[in-house]
């Protein structure tokens, strides 16, 4: 007979349901603001914003995927769409031509700079404002911990598979 599952306590269940609602609702709210104001999805914004903060506004696609928590195939599809809008371009990595880099174009820079104030205002409205500094620190710690747990499980799954 299989072991009985470790059921959640009432407190754990309430925390899980609150987190699940956050995970389901926050991306949609941030997407809506970015689409309305900048014609970007949240994922598009993360790609452009990440490139805007890297030296030379350039990054290997594999590294960019890791930084934004994406699969390389999903990122490649989004990069193709952003490239068609002239917001970035792909080029071989001069250090190793087997890799491809994404380069933020001037038009991409302009779009992400214009989108940033509205996005930050939405993040403040939905997440930051109303929290104490201590709560923001706890939120950061929890988010980092959960992300590390997911990454660890993915690595273990890769080793097994």
- For 81-113, the pLDDT digits (tens) are 999 999 999 999 999 999 999 999 999 999 999
- For 15-66, the pLDDT digits (tens) are 999 999 999 999 999 999 999 999 999 999 999 999 999 999 999 999 999 9
The number of C-alpha atoms within 13 Å of 28 and in the hemisphere containing its C-beta is 5
- Report the SS3 class of residue 91: strand
- For 110-141, the pLDDT digits (tens) are 999 999 999 999 999 999 999 999 999 999 99
Q: Report residue 46 CA to chain centroid gap.
A: 6
Cα separation values, 30 from 91, 92, 121, 156, Å: 30, 32, 10, 32
For the entire predicted model, the pTM comes to 0.87
């Amino acid at each position: 007979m299989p072991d009985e599952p470790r059921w959640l306590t009432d407190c754990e269940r309430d925390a899980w349901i609150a987190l699940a609602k956050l995970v389901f609702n926050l991306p949609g709210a941030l997407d809506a603001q970015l689409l309305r104001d900048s014609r970007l999805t949240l994922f598009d914004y993360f790609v452009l914003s990440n490139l805007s903060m890297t030296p030379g506004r350039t990054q290997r696609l594999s590294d960019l995927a890791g930084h934004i928590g994406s699969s390389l195939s999903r990122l490649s599809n989004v990069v193709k769409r952003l490239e068609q809008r002239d917001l970035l371009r792909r080029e071989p990595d001069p250090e190793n031509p087997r890799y491809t880099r994404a380069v933020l174009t001037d038009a991409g820079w302009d779009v992400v700079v214009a989108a940033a104030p509205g996005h930050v205002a939405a993040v403040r409205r939905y997440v930051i404002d109303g929290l104490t500094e201590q709560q923001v620190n706890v939120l950061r710690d929890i988010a980092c911990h959960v992300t590390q747990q997911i990454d660890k499980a993915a690595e273990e799954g890769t080793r097994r598979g």
